[in-house]
């Protein structure tokens, strides 16, 4: 790897927003380490594909160690891995505690563990950018998704906390807050015409986002062109939170 090549780690990079982000960052010239629960595909033979549960501290440390052994540095971390918790994770009194724990482990503990593992190398280099994929649900609550909404609010505030704590060290932290995006997690709803119509009726632009559109926002942040931005929530939701 040439000395000028930047390295990005993308969690949940095997599908949906993560996969689109990997493709976009590869086009932007990043060397990639892709982390997912199953071995994720990589577009470039020089990229690194790793299997890890972002909620498992030891697995995250091992994965980051493998990235540093291959590339020697990490310039950008994209905390993208996430889960809605499945159909049972609905209103508070009906959500099983196990489902809440699963959502928090992925959506809150995951960004914490991944950032915690990556920050020492960013500190050593005096630069870095942590980009956390939160959600517009972290700004305005989604009905019937208590655990998910709570977790994404926490993920957004976590990104802001990192921004404050590490700005003086040259490390920035921002969040991207998508609205409804066409991914494997949401396709079941979009495949039902009545449910899809309900979703689209609440979006001023009248349609759900495609993963590439969220990847575009992540790409802009990762590029460094907005170098004065930290602690920000970049909302990509078709106007949903503007209502």
- Please list the active-site residues: 148
**CA distance from start to end of the chain:** 47
The span from the CA of 34 to the CA of 20, in Å, is: 12
Structure tokens at 34: 């892709």
The span from the CA of 148 to the CA of 167, in Å, is: 28
The span from the CA of 129 to the CA of 227, in Å, is: 10
* Alpha carbons within 13 A on the beta-carbon side of 159: 29
The span from the CA of 184 to the CA of 62, in Å, is: 27
* H-type alpha helices, 142-207: 146-166, 187-190, 193-201
Cα-trace Rg, the chain: 17
> What are the strands, taking DSSP E only, across the chain?
7-11, 31-36, 48-51, 76-79, 128-133, 171-178, 233-236
Cα pseudo-dihedral 102, 105, 107, 109, rounded to 10: 170
DSSP for residue 137? G
């Amino acid at each position: 790897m040439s000395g000028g090549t930047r390295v990005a780690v993308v969690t949940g990079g095997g599908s949906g927003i993560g996969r689109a982000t990997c493709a976009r960052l590869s086009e932007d010239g990043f060397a990639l380490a892709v982390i997912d629960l199953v071995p994720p595909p990589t577009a470039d033979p020089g990229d690194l594909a790793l299997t890890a549960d972002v909620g498992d501290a030891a697995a995250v440390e091992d994965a980051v160690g493998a990235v540093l052994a291959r590339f020697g540095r990490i310039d950008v971390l994209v905390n993208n891995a996430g889960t809605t918790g499945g159909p049972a994770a609905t209103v508070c009194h009906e959500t099983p505690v196990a489902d809440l724990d699963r959502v928090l482990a992925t959506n809150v503990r995951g960004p914490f563990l991944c950032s915690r593992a990556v920050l020492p190398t960013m500190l050593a280099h005096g630069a870095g950018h942590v980009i956390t994929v939160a959600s517009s649900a972290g700004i305005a609550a989604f009905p019937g998704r208590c655990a998910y909404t709570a977790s994404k609010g926490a993920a957004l505030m976590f990104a802001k906390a990192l921004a404050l704590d590490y700005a003086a060290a040259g490390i920035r932290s921002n969040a991207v807050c998508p609205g409804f995006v066409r991914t494997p997690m949401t396709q079941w709803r979009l495949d039902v015409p009545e449910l899809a119509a309900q979703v689209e009726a609440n979006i001023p632009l009248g349609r759900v986002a495609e993963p590439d559109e969220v990847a575009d926002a992540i790409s802009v942040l990762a590029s460094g062109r907005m170098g004065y931005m930290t602690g920000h929530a970049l909302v990509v939701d078709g106007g949903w939170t503007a209502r």
